[in-house]
Amino acid sequence: MPFFTISTFNANSVRSRLQILERWLIKNPVDVLCLQETKVSDDQFPASAFDSWGYHVFFRGRKAYAGVAIACQGEPNEIIYGFPDGKDGKDDDRLMIARFDDLWVINTYVPQGKSIDHPDYRYKKDFFRRFLDLLESEFKADDKIIWVGDMNVAPEEKDVTKPETKRNHVCFHEEIRDIFDTVKSWGFVDVFRKHHPEEGQYTFWDYRVKNALERNIGWRVDHILATPSVADRSVDCYIDREPRSWEKPSDHTFLVGIFDL
Amino acid sequence: MPFFTISTFNANSVRSRLQILERWLIKNPVDVLCLQETKVSDDQFPASAFDSWGYHVFFRGRKAYAGVAIACQGEPNEIIYGFPDGKDGKDDDRLMIARFDDLWVINTYVPQGKSIDHPDYRYKKDFFRRFLDLLESEFKADDKIIWVGDMNVAPEEKDVTKPETKRNHVCFHEEIRDIFDTVKSWGFVDVFRKHHPEEGQYTFWDYRVKNALERNIGWRVDHILATPSVADRSVDCYIDREPRSWEKPSDHTFLVGIFDL
DNA sequence: GGAACAATTG
DNA sequence: CAATTGTTCC
């Protein structure tokens, strides 16, 4: 049986990233690709492009902000959008779940939060708390779950450049790292870190920082996590920096996980 | 001695058209290429692209509107920008003249005019009257002159689709056709019409008309005219429709004139 | 429809 | 820097 491969990519507009996506998928066929920040309403989603590349695609989005999608070569058994708590109904484009037999794939685009004193940061913390509620009410830690996405949290000092300058940042503040850690403690292993303990392994390089990629000034905010039964079977997990250097790049790049399920 | 080849092309932003220009010039090297609607200020003009294609380039423009350029493989003896009347100084990016020994090349981007009752239409008519003044004061009809550009006039019924629906259009109104005809009567031959009397020969297809090119719903508003001594030596003059079908096209295409000078 | 502009966001 | 939503122009 071949390996199960999964990737996560914050596209920063899926319509602006079709060339990148096509080029990457040709070289890197995966079973499942999870996208964030598709920034497109469902009626405008470029589904036919994914069709032509041989992928089914499921998506939930609105114009200009957020939006998630899952593209996959096999048929999922079910797709679930948003939190079951259904609170304000605005998060159905930030969280989606696909089931492939007994394997659950959860794709999240966690709110960034703007600044510590901004209401959006409150909302970010709530997002993680509601996500933990979801785990506790709907799953067990011995279920087979892969949780991927842009979590907008750099968990450790080595996951950012100059951590001392970022203590007050919504993606690195001690409080949000603690909250993310609490969610992980429910039962997730950081699959990337299992294979790559090195520092300076980033998935996001700000467009505004010049030569950010060459200077490697970035953040590790995109993650692949898995429950132990799945994580135990991970073969590799790596960041493909290359697409960040291609024409018309996203500010994020692809993170890939390979599992011997 | 090889033929003298000249082309005119409304680029609708020269910076957005570099790929089209490169691709076309590789297949169609010309002695002189006249551009209109470059839509770029002089400090932003992509001169190095023309350099790399083996052309000298001269230009006068402002941001967002109008702008003309002449690219040529040989060195011109002189370049003149704007009307000598210098009125309001705003037309120096709508008219330029290059001299190659005893051959004058005049490149114009005639104002479109918006609508018959708009002040811009008055300005369009003035443009032609001032152009006639220029001819009368600076040239003789036995000079060797090639006048090219986007004239924003379709001279005859056969130069538009459904002429009966366009009688009130600023590019087809009887008044503007009469004015254009008066200017031509100073001493120009329509070189394209000398070789191609057929109807439905267009140089412009509106982006907003869907499948305009396939349905051939367009306008012949770009022209190559010449004084008799030059026109007598024209070998061919044709519209190259192909670039209108390429990726990221202008709404106009290239008109080419070949002369045995 | 596709260029440009300006303003806003991350 | 590169997306977005608007507007205007042809």
For residue range B5-36, what is the model confidence (pLDDT) as tens digits? 999 999 999 999 999 999 999 999 999 999 99
Q: How long is the CA B235 to C1' D1 vector, in angstroms?
A: 50
Convert the pLDDT of each residue in B192-204 to its tens digit.
Answer: 999 999 999 999 9
Domain that holds residue A98: 4-259
> Which among B173, B202, B222, B252 is annotated as catalytic?
B252
Identify nearest nucleotide to residue B65 by CA to C1′ distance.
C4
Which bases of chain C are under 7 A from a protein CB atom? 1-5, 10
Q: What percent of chain A has pLDDT over 90?
A: 95
Give the Cβ contact number of residue B156 at 10 Å: 15
Cα A211 from chain centroid? Answer: 24
Q: CB of B208 under 7 A from strand C?
A: yes
Q: Are B91 and B85 in contact (CB under 8 A)?
A: no
Q: What percent of chain B has pLDDT over 90?
A: 92
pLDDT of residue B89: 63
pLDDT of residue A92: 87
Give the pair of three-digit tokens for residue A172.
Answer: 């690195």
Number of structural domains chain A divides into? 1
Q: Is A37 flagged in the annotation as binding?
A: yes
Q: CB of A246 under 7 A from strand C?
A: no
At B84, is the pLDDT very low, low, confident or very high (cuts 50, 70, 90)?
A: confident
If residue B237 lies in a helix (H) or strand (E), which one and from where to where?
A: strand B234-240
CA–CA distance, B102 with B81 (Å, rounded to integer):
18
pLDDT of residue B133: 96
At B42, is the pLDDT very low, low, confident or very high (cuts 50, 70, 90)?
A: very high
User: What CATH number has the domain bearing residue B135?
Assistant: 3.60.10.10
Identify nearest nucleotide to residue B12 by CA to C1′ distance.
C3
Q: CB of B85 under 7 A from strand D?
A: no
CA–CA distance, A93 with A39 (Å, rounded to integer):
10
Which bases of chain D are under 7 A from a protein CB atom? 1-5, 9-10
Enzyme catalytic residues of A: 109, 150, 252
Q: Is B10 flagged in the annotation as binding?
A: yes
State the pTM of this model. 0.85
Q: Are A251 and A16 in contact (CB under 8 A)?
A: no
Q: Is A252 flagged in the annotation as binding?
A: yes
Q: How long is the CA B64 to C1' D7 vector, in angstroms?
A: 14
Identify nearest nucleotide to residue B208 by CA to C1′ distance.
C1
Residues 6+ away with beta carbon under 8 Å from A210: none
Give the Cβ contact number of residue A47 at 10 Å: 16
**Secondary structure (DSSP) of A121-183:** HHHHHHHHHHHHHHHHHH--TTSEEEEEEE-S---SGGGBSSGGG-TTSTTT-HHHHHHHHHH
